Structures are given as C-alpha cells and as structure tokens.
Amino acid sequence: MSGSSDVIAPWLLRSKITPPRQLLSVLPRPALVALLDKGAEGALIILEAPGGYGKTCLLSEWKDRRQEQGETVCWLSVDEDDDADTFLAYLAFAAHASGVDVSGSELMSFEHYTEKNALQSIYQLLSQLERHPSPVRLIIDDCERLSENVRHSVMPLLLRRLPENCTLILASREAAGINTVDIEHRGLVVRIGPRHLRFSQDELKLLWGARVTPRQLARIEDQTEGWPVLVRLLLSAADIGEFDIRHIDDISHNDSSITTYFEQKILSRLDVEMRHFLIKASVFDDLSDAIMEEILGVPQAYPLREKLDSLEAFIAPISGDDGGYRLHPMMRDYLLHKLEDEHSQEFQRLQEKAAHWYSEKGNHVRAVRHALASKESRLLCDILDATCGLRLWLKEGLIEFRPIDRMLDEKAVLSSPSAGFMRCIILMKSGKQYEAGVLYDRIIEQHQERFKENELLSMSAFACKIMLSIYRGLYIPIEEIETFEKSASETASLFTGYVLTMKCVSAHQCGLFHEAIGHAERAIAYFRAVGSVYGEFYIHLHLGMVDWLMDAEHSHGAAFAQAKDIIRQELSYDTGVKPLLEILKLECDHEALPLETKQFQRLANVVVSLMKGEGWLDIYASAFRTLSEKQYGASGLKEALLSLESFAAFSSKNDMRYLLDICFAERSLLLAASGRRDEAVAAFEKITGFKEDPQSYLHIAPWRAGEAVGEAALYLLGDNASKTDLEMWRSYRDLNLDRGNKRAACRLGALLAARSGGEDDLGMLNRSIGPQFARAFWLCHDAMSEKYDFQGAEQAYTNVRDVMRLVQGKNEDSVGTVDQGQSILTEKELTVLRQLATGQSDKQIALVIGVTEHGVRYHLKNIYLKLGAQNRLDAVQKGRALGIPAAGSI
C-alpha cells in the first residue's frame, strides 16, 4: 500500500471498502466463478438480482480468489447519500487500500472537490489505475443506491474511459440503469441474473445432504426455485428444529424469518402501486395477459407492465401464446395469505371473479379451486354442475374432492347433481357403500329432468351407478359398461380411463382373468399417456392380484412392485392407498404360509384401516377371510367368530350382499372344521339364494363368493357327498381353471379330492397345485392323508405330495410355538380395555398410556371395530367373554 494516512480524510470508513462478513459457510459455485472470470477479460460485469440471490457472497469469494492470483481487486459498497464527491473519494480510498498508488493526488483528502472539477478527479483516478502494474478489478456493490448524479454523470465517464487493465463489476438489486451500448456491442459486457444465481439441484443436494429424501429435495426446489436466501433460511430453521419438511407448503407465511425478509428486503423497496398489484395478482397461478387486462385492470400499454420485467427474481415471464407472468411460489403464498388476512373482502371478490372467468374459459379445475377459495357454496355447486364434478375426479383424483365436499352441507349437495355424485364417490372411498347408494337414489329421483337434458350429467350418473355396483360386488355385464365406448360424442372420451378401469375390475370380480389382463394393459397405457398415477396404481393392484391367482409369479411380483413404487414416489401423502396393497400382499403370504402368525397384528391393523377407508368386494373379502383364518390359528375359534360377526355387520350395513355371503361361508367353514356341524349348517343356510338355485348363484356371484361358498359346502358334505353335488363343484372347479383362476381351482380341488377319494380329482389337483397355494390343504390335510397313500399307490402325484409335506412340516414346526393367546388388539388397545373395565375416564387413560384424549378415542374406535362392540360396556363384556386380555386382567 502506498501513500501516507495524512492525505486520507478522517471520515472515510474502511467498512465501506471491505466486503461484508459472511456468517454462513460459503457453498463453492465454480460455474459462477468461471462466468466472472470470463467477464474479467472484458470491461464490465453486471450482476442484477434482488436481495438474497448471493451477489455479495459470490463477489466476496471471487475477490479473494483473484487476489490470491496476484490481481488488485477493489471493493466499494454504495450508500444512498453518496454524492459524486463522496463516491469518488471512496473509490480512490478502495483503490488505495488495494495497493494502487494514488499518493499526491489528493483524491482522498476531500479538500479540492467541487462539482466543476469532478471531471478532473475522475481522469486523475483513471490515470492512477492505468499506471498500476497489474490488472485492477473495481467491484461496486449495492448499485441500486447510486444517486442520480453519480449514475448519469460519473458512471458513464468511468465506463467510457476505463483503462485496458481495468474491469468494472457492478452488483445491483434492480436494473442498474447505466448506458452500456458503447461497450456492449463490442462483447465487453457480461450479465449475470437470477437464472444464473439460483441454486441448482446439485447445489441443493450439497446443502441439504442426507437430511431429506430425493422427493423432498424436489419439493424444496419447486417451492424455493433455488432462491439462495430462502434456501438458507430454511436450512437455518431446520438446524434449530423450527422447520419440518412436511410443512414446506406453509413455510412462506408461517416462518417469521421468511416473512420479515419478504417485507423488509423486497416489498418495502417497491412503490405502492406495484405492491398492491402483486398482492392482488397472488390470487392467480399464472398471470396471463388476459387475466391482467380483464380481471386486474392492467392493459398491455399500462406503464406498470414495463416494470414487471425488472422483477425477474420473483415474477417470471411465461413463454407461449398467452404471454404474461407468474409469481415465485413462496412469494405468491405469502402475498395470498397477506391478502386474505388484511383484505378479506377483496380476497373473496377476486376469488369469485376468477372462478367465473375460468369457468367461462373452460378451465374447470381452476374454476373449482377459486370457487372453493371464495367459500361460496352456491357458486361452487353452480360451477361443479357446469363442469361436471366426476370429470374433475377423473382428472384430479380425490385430492380436489375432499376439501370441496367438506364445504358443502346436505342441502347444497342435494341441490347439485355433480356435488351429489362427488359425495357418493367420497362415501364409497370411505367404506360407506350403503350411504353412497342412498344418496345416489335421492339425487336420481330429484333431478330426473336434468339428466334427460344434459348428456354429461347423464353419463356421470351412469358412471356412478356402475361404480356403486362394482364396489358392492354386484354383477355388471361388460356390455353394459361398454355403453360409454359406443358413444361417439366428445363427452364419452372424458370417461376413457374410467371405462377401462371398470371393465378390468368387473372382469376380475367375475373371474374372467384373461379379459381383465387385456383391459388392464390398455388402461395402463392410457393412464401413462395422460399422466394419471392414481389410475395406474389401481390397475397395477388388479393386475398383480390376477397374475397371482393365475400363478404368474413373476408378473404379479412386478405389478405389486410397480404399485409400491407409485406409492413411494407419487402417493406417499395419501394414507388410504397403502392398505389396499398391503392386504393383497398379506393374502399372498397367507396362501403360501397358512399357519404363519408372525404378521398377525399387522394384518389386524390393516383390516381396521380398510374398514374405515376405501375398499371394494375383492379387498374386503381378502381382508376378512385372511384375518379370520389367522385368528383361528393364533387365538382360536371364538375370536375368529367374533371378528366375522363384526365383518358381517359391516357387510350388511353397506348392503354388500355377496360380501355378507362370504362372511357366512367363512363362519360355516371354521365351525365345521371345529366339529360344530349344526352351527356350521345354520351359518351356511344364511347364504342368500344359493340353496334355492346353486347354478344361478355361481353364474352371477363374484368368484370370491363362489370360492368361499364352495369350500364351506364341500367341507359340510363330508365323505357321503352325492354324485350330483360333487359334479356341480367339479364343474365350477373346471370353470375357474379354464379362466385361469388356479387358487380357486386348488382350494376346491383339494376338498373335492379329500371328499371323493378319486384319482381324477387327485390328478387334476396335482396338475394345478404349487407351494404358493399351500392354503388349499389348510383344513383337509388329515383327510387327504387318510384317503391317499403318497408313499405307495399315489406316489406319482408328486406335486400334491410335496405341498402336503410342506404343510405337514409347518404343522410340526408350529406345535408349541403358535401363541394361542395372541389377540387382535395391540398392547395399547389392551391397556385401554383394562382401564375401561376399572371405570377410568378418557383423561385418566390418556395419562396411563401416554397419549392425548383424542388418542384414547382413536384406540377406542379400533377396539369397537375389532370386537364388533357398540359402546364401552359392550367392548369390556366381549373382551371378558373372549379372554382378551387374560381372565382376571379386566
């Protein structure tokens, strides 16, 4: 450093010529450093971005790096009150501090400056810089604070006469407003903006490390759009435990550090007109030219439009024919909550206006969202009817439906067919098929004339009817579903994915597995093309189930794996879909390991979840039969029968006739296996319609009902079965085998072989059976062993023999290890039941088990479902009767 301190004005502050201290660790940004290095070869580098984009941090890092390479780098931070004389004095002071010889120039003394000789002062400084032996980089930070005089008089002259060995670097929160035409056309200017300064995905990975999953990281990237200060604030909040990634959507209006930053560093720097515009604009996902002109009253020629381009960091232009802009997600969220909290009437007015506007334009999803935000139920119903509520479900799933439904009272629902059908879907997806059916009938009766006049409503009604029937397990001919496809209207095309799904489910329930696979493959192709993850998930469920029943081991494993991946990657937030996959996989495990009880408690919890959530006949039948059979092995007949009572009540309440038949058949089977024949016969006779016309029943009933009824019937027939009965069940077995249903064929085939003792039945079973269907011998192992000599005359039937040995091995291994005291209740539920028996209140029970009173009520609901109890006293009495927990503990 040259010169002496006596020529330096005493009021010059070194803090203005020193980069601000960085308290946060600096993330290396080699791509940006390389861009600065390239710019240093020219005359000017301009960094333009709002606060929080890391301009100062980046330049500070770059300054240190260039100084280490032997260059001279000067730093100056501008203040609003810096006039031309002050600015030049500090610029000379920065050069002096960096090693430039300005001695004898009196540039830092501030004694000879006047407006008249400012030009001379600039030339004097430039002369000193030009004589410096190494390259000089002049960094001027906070250029948005430059006074008008400095911006328009000093800066142009500096640029025009800048020596060859100098580069000027300007950092500004807004457009620098400096004329660069003379040097820009010569390629001497490099511009760095928000798109360069945003954190990339790789940089976000480095910052967050292993604390978030790839999906969560993608959500952070979507919300912050790489705005460095927002990422830093989230990191800081996470470090001190004040930020939960699950609440990323709410952080912009709940985190004080972010709201303060938006107010003090962004909004306070905008003029009043711009602030008001942005607050109103936050109502919209996108600000098309049409929205700005027709709703917000900002025509294209309006001066405010010209200012928007300078706000690139948080309001970005939209490419495409419609033009316009969109707000940064977190900024928009903050402004929207500000509008709702501080100007509620304006918020509602804009939401209603937006709902009408989008509805007129045919954008039904956004119209409904704005109507929902306005909290005007009548408006919401009108738009639903105009757009067809089921079309919204088919496109968006239940995510949009549930908040809409919560807003509507019964009167509003009954007045709007679309709202009524929407609630029907939600009820079906909540395990309330009967309520859905009652509501459907009321809607049809009340709006008959409207269905005649409106094709879309008519098709929606038909779609809802089909879904109600299939969820209940009622027979729907494929030809009836294909009514949609036979229509050439544009309306029919809206239901393409729905029709393919219903055809797949209907074919599956009817046991037409080859047809179901064909429909499934077409549905998956369609859903992938339109991007419907929900549609694809449900098809993979059915495809996995069908492949397993057909003994296509590799295929069913792949389909279930696909469904699992969709849950993990796309539907992790939806707690209703996971139990659907879990119960099917648990059923597969039970079929191969019928005596295994390790997953008994998990199975019980999944079944409870299904009874409170979505399910249809296949799902419920899978759940109810699997759990009751596991209970039979783990806890005994009494608890299995109790659960079947609860399942039967559920089936009856939901008007699911065939599911109720399955419960009666399973009850009959377990009673017969326990030697209680009279009770088994009584249970079997409750099956509706089978005794009167077995052939018609088996023709119309879902295959799961036919299988369950067949097992119970064959077990009850015993060794004295008539030839007619055996032939009927052989015919049904063969029908299932022809359709590819090996599981049903094996279950029925094992009982037929056990009852008839015939080699034809044994041969058919031998060709079908495999270790994955070991459940077929669960209740007929001993009868088979008595009838056949697999070491002698029947030793050629190796498949039957090997699976029989496998089940026998399981029986031997299980002796003394199966806990006959295992309960369907969890430990906490047992504790709650014990406390109930002593008369404890919810508050007292909560203290005992360490949960809230709400948690106690949650456990009580599960206890009622599992025990089939109506109230607390009933639960205690049923627990005592079953020995749950052990006698004397309650």
Cβ atoms of 652 and 506 within 8 Å: the answer is no
Neighbouring residues of 423: CB distance < 8 A, sequence distance ≥ 6: 405, 408, 413, 436, 439
End-of-domain residue from the set 757, 780, 814: 814
Answer yes or no: is pLDDT of 860 > 70.
Answer: yes
Residue 594 maps to a domain: yes
Q: Lowest-pLDDT range, 223-227, 582-586, 761-765?
A: 223-227
More confident residue, 479 or 264: 264
From the DSSP assignment, how many helices (H) and strands (E) are in the chain? Answer: 51, 7
Q: How many CA atoms lie within 13 A of 174 on its CB side?
A: 14
Q: How many CB atoms lie within 10 A of CB 521?
A: 14
Residue 570 maps to a domain: no
- CA separation for the pair 564, 590 (Å, rounded): 19
- CA separation for the pair 215, 681 (Å, rounded): 55
Q: What is the pLDDT of residue 819?
A: 42
Q: What is the mean pLDDT of residues 314-332?
A: 76
More confident residue, 877 or 681: 681
Cβ atoms of 419 and 446 within 8 Å: the answer is no
Q: Which tokens sit at 380?
A: 């919401």
- CA separation for the pair 431, 616 (Å, rounded): 8
- Number of domains the chain contains: 5
Q: What is the mean pLDDT of residues 384-413?
A: 70
Neighbouring residues of 77: CB distance < 8 A, sequence distance ≥ 6: 15, 16, 17, 20, 141, 142
Cβ atoms of 737 and 698 within 8 Å: the answer is no
Considering the domain architecture, whether residues 766 and 625 belong to the same structural domain is answered as yes
Q: Which residues of 40-51 are buried (b: 16+ CB within 10 A; e: fewer)?
A: bebbbbbbbbbb
- φ/ψ of 541, rounded to 5, equals -60, -50
Q: Which CATH number goes with the domain that contains 842?
A: 1.10.10.10
Considering the domain architecture, whether residues 137 and 239 belong to the same structural domain is answered as no
Considering the domain architecture, whether residues 806 and 662 belong to the same structural domain is answered as yes
Cβ atoms of 315 and 326 within 8 Å: the answer is yes
Considering the domain architecture, whether residues 212 and 64 belong to the same structural domain is answered as no
Considering the domain architecture, whether residues 169 and 257 belong to the same structural domain is answered as no
- CA separation for the pair 624, 285 (Å, rounded): 46
Q: Quick one: 610 exposed, middle or buried, by C-beta within 10 A (0-12, 13-18, 19+)?
A: buried
Instruction: Give the best-scoring range by mean pLDDT among 105-109, 245-249, 802-806.
Output: 802-806
Q: What is the pLDDT of residue 397?
A: 60
Residue 606 maps to a domain: yes
Q: What is the pLDDT of residue 313?
A: 65
Q: What's the per-residue H, E or C state across 520-546?
A: HHHHHHHHHHHCCHHHHHHHHHHHHHH
Alpha helices in 112-175 (DSSP H): 118-130, 148-149, 155-160
Q: What is the pLDDT of residue 120?
A: 80
Task: Quote the mean pLDDT of the chain.
Answer: 84
Answer yes or no: is pLDDT of 483 > 80.
Answer: no
Angstrom CA distances, 203 to 164, 515, 644, stand at: 35, 50, 56
Q: What is the pTM of this model?
A: 0.65
Residue 96 maps to a domain: yes
Residue 344 maps to a domain: no
- CA separation for the pair 154, 146 (Å, rounded): 10
- CA separation for the pair 446, 440 (Å, rounded): 10
Answer yes or no: is pLDDT of 887 > 50.
Answer: no
> How do 136-141 and 189-192 pair as beta strands?
unpaired
Q: What is the mean pLDDT of residues 611-636?
A: 91
What pairs with residue 167 in β-bridges?
Answer: 137
Residue 385 maps to a domain: yes
Considering the domain architecture, whether residues 111 and 125 belong to the same structural domain is answered as yes
Considering the domain architecture, whether residues 768 and 645 belong to the same structural domain is answered as yes
End-of-domain residue from the set 782, 814, 846: 814
> How far apart, in Å, do the first and last CA atoms of the chain sit?
89
Q: What is the pLDDT of residue 817?
A: 34
Residue 811: which pLDDT band, with cuts at 50, 70 and 90?
A: very low
Answer yes or no: is pLDDT of 874 > 90.
Answer: no
Output the DSSP codes for 637-672: HHHHHHHHHHHHHHHHHTT-HHHHHHHHHHHHHHHH
- Residues making up the chain, counted from first to last: 890
Q: Which residues of 179-205 are buried (b: 16+ CB within 10 A; e: fewer)?
A: ebeebbeeebbbebebeebbbeeebbe
Considering the domain architecture, whether residues 150 and 162 belong to the same structural domain is answered as yes
Q: What is the pLDDT of residue 889?
A: 39
Q: How many CB atoms lie within 10 A of CB 576?
A: 17
Q: Lowest-pLDDT range, 293-302, 510-519, 840-849?
A: 840-849
Answer yes or no: is pLDDT of 81 > 90.
Answer: no
Q: What is the pLDDT of residue 223?
A: 84
Considering the domain architecture, whether residues 755 and 705 belong to the same structural domain is answered as yes
pLDDT tens digits, residue range 493-516? 667 888 888 899 999 999 999 999
Find the helix or strand (DSSP H, E) in which 315 lies: strand 315-317
Answer yes or no: is pLDDT of 883 > 70.
Answer: no
Q: What is the pLDDT of residue 530?
A: 83
Considering the domain architecture, whether residues 723 and 792 belong to the same structural domain is answered as yes
Angstrom CA distances, 707 to 213, 511, 560, 765, stand at: 44, 11, 23, 16
pLDDT tens digits, residue range 328-386? 888 889 999 999 999 999 999 999 999 889 888 877 778 878 888 888 888 878 877 77
More confident residue, 757 or 554: 757
Q: What is the pLDDT of residue 1?
A: 44
> What sign does the CA torsion over 94, 98, 103, 105 have?
negative
- φ/ψ of 787, rounded to 5, equals -80, -35
- Under DSSP, the state recorded for 630 is H
Considering the domain architecture, whether residues 788 and 875 belong to the same structural domain is answered as no
Q: What is the pLDDT of residue 859?
A: 80
Q: Which residues of 710-727 are buried (b: 16+ CB within 10 A; e: fewer)?
A: bbbbbbbbeeebeeeebe
pLDDT tens digits, residue range 707-762? 999 999 999 987 777 889 999 999 999 999 999 999 999 999 999 999 888 889 99
Q: Lowest-pLDDT range, 389-398, 415-424, 567-576, 871-880?
A: 389-398
End-of-domain residue from the set 269, 298, 328: 269
Q: Lowest-pLDDT range, 156-165, 176-185, 584-593, 817-826?
A: 817-826
Q: What is the mean pLDDT of residues 304-321?
A: 71
- φ/ψ of 342, rounded to 5, equals -100, -20
- CA separation for the pair 89, 11 (Å, rounded): 11
Q: Lowest-pLDDT range, 101-110, 287-296, 712-721?
A: 101-110
* Tokens 């030219």 sit on residue: 289
Q: What percent of the chain has pLDDT over 90?
A: 34
pLDDT tens digits, residue range 731-745? 999 999 999 999 999
pLDDT tens digits, residue range 195-239? 899 999 899 888 888 778 887 888 888 888 888 888 888 887 777
Q: What is the pLDDT of residue 810?
A: 44
Residue 636: which pLDDT band, with cuts at 50, 70 and 90?
A: confident
Q: Which domain holds residue 49?
A: 5-197
Residue 556 maps to a domain: no
Q: Which CATH number goes with the domain that contains 718?
A: 1.25.40
Residue 22: which pLDDT band, with cuts at 50, 70 and 90?
A: low
Residue 65 maps to a domain: yes
Instruction: Give the best-scoring range by mean pLDDT among 178-182, 258-262, 687-691, 863-867.
Output: 687-691
- CA separation for the pair 626, 805 (Å, rounded): 22
Considering the domain architecture, whether residues 186 and 235 belong to the same structural domain is answered as no
pLDDT tens digits, residue range 2-13? 444 446 777 788
Q: What is the pLDDT of residue 623?
A: 95
